[in-house]
Amino acid sequence: MPSTHPVTAADLFPQTFERFEFQGPRGRICGRRGGSGPALLLLHGYPQTHVMWHPLAGALAAHFSLILPDLPGYGDSDLPGEPVEAMSKRQLAMDICTLMDAFGHGRFAVCGHDRGGRVAYRLALDHPARVSRLAVLDILPTHDYWQRMDKAFALKVYHWAFLAQPEPLPERLIGGDPGFYLDHTMASWTARKNLSAFHPAALAAYRAAFAATGRVHAACQDYRAGATADFADDAADLATGRRISAPLLALWGGHGIAPGAGTPLDVWRNWASDVQGKAIDGGHFLVEENPTETLSALLPFLTA
């Protein structure tokens, strides 16, 4: 008889993957890991969890030891503290380095989507000896986003200003119907403007995590940090000419949310010397909207 066991997020990953809970200095970091080979850190974005990587996990695990954490404040991981600076990408990058130390990975490749991409490039800037290769999915640096905030782009990424408003305005408004906000936000960032790209079990995991106590507040703190500490840290690096030394791959959705002046490669070349990349047919959620093309672009870069 067919199994009546409902499919869960855990079922989307290879059976060899294990769940972890790491007690760091600023709270627990939870996630999954599996595979074998050189270490590859995968960092998710807003408003998701590490589950977003499930379409690529099996294929990447054949080449790498994968570490897939929920970023602090997201999923099952703890919110690391109340000041806005606690969610700065500089602090989150240090948290992730501590996690990787615990797993015995002094040097590793890192791939980040959305907010995870911001942690990833900050990690590469602040800890260059740790990062062998860097891939960023559908983002530009935080400083560039704010500097390009004209009318058209502000309408497209209104959530940057909305979520960064002082507490408790966005928390209260989203808290009135968090499921609606999550579904509307995710659908609006896809090429098809619906939720068809997301596996039902993954979508259920995102909804449950987003509605959990403190998660909306943590995400708002993340965006408040983006408007303050992260912007200032990026500006300081630009002023001093500090650049990313690791080879960098930038992938973006052909129908994604990156601003349209030039290509993301033009921007990333201001931040790194060794830059390559391409557009992927899809919207913002490359891994779930077009896993085949995303994997085909990632794997040669990561295994080079």
Q: How would you write the chain as a 3-class SS string?
A: CCCCCCCCHHHHCCCCCEEEEEEECCEEEEEEEEECCCEEEEECCCCCCHHHHHHHHHHHHCCCEEEEECCCCCCCCCCCCCCHHHHCHHHHHHHHHHHHHHCCCCCEEEEEECHHHHHHHHHHHHCCCCEEEEEEECCCCHHHHHHCCCHHHHHHCCHHHHHCCCCCHHHHHHHCCHHHHHHHHHHHCCCCCCCCCCCHHHHHHHHHHHHCCCHHHHHHHHHHHHHCHHHHHHHHHHHHCCCECCCEEEEEECCCCCCCCCCHHHHHCCCECCEEEEEECCCCCHHHHCHHHHHHHHHHHHHC
> What is the spatial distance between Cα 215 and Cα 224, in angstroms, rounded to a whole number?
14
> What is the spatial distance between Cα 261 and Cα 292, in angstroms, rounded to a whole number?
27
Q: How confident is the model at residue 146 (pLDDT cuts 50, 70, 90)?
A: very high
Residues taking part in catalysis: 114, 284
pLDDT score of 3: 57
Which of the two residues, 230 and 152, has the higher pLDDT score?
230
> What is the spatial distance between Cα 186 and Cα 213, in angstroms, rounded to a whole number?
20
> 94 φ, ψ to 5°?
-65, -40
pLDDT score of 141: 96
- The amino acid present at 5, given as its one-letter code, is H
Largest interatomic CA distance in the chain: 65
pLDDT score of 258: 63
Question: Tens digits of per-residue pLDDT, 201-259?
Answer: 999 999 999 999 999 999 999 999 999 999 999 999 999 999 999 999 999 999 877 65
Section 258-263 average pLDDT = 65
**Distant-in-sequence, close-in-space partners of 293: CB < 8 Å, separation ≥ 6:** 280, 281, 282, 286
Section 258-272 average pLDDT = 83
Section 152-169 average pLDDT = 93
Question: Tens digits of per-residue pLDDT, 162-215?
Answer: 999 999 999 999 999 999 999 999 999 999 999 999 999 999 999 999 999 999
Q: How confident is the model at residue 1 (pLDDT cuts 50, 70, 90)?
A: very low
Cα 85-90-91 angle, rounded to 5 deg? 60
Section 156-167 average pLDDT = 95
Nearest to 74 by CA among 40, 41, 32, 44: 44
pLDDT score of 67: 98
How many whole angstroms from its chain centre is CA 55?
15
pLDDT score of 261: 59
pLDDT score of 172: 97
Least confident of 7-11, 79-83, 94-98: 79-83
**Distant-in-sequence, close-in-space partners of 5: CB < 8 Å, separation ≥ 6:** none
Question: Tens digits of per-residue pLDDT, 25-48?
Answer: 999 999 999 999 999 999 999 999
- The amino acid present at 61, given as its one-letter code, is A
Question: Tens digits of per-residue pLDDT, 110-145?
Answer: 999 999 999 999 999 999 999 999 999 999 999 999
> 82 φ, ψ to 5°?
-85, -40
Query: For strand 65-69 and strand 108-113, is the pairing parallel, antiparallel, or unpaired?
Result: unpaired
Rounded to the nearest integer, the mean pLDDT of the chain is 95
pTM of the model: 0.96
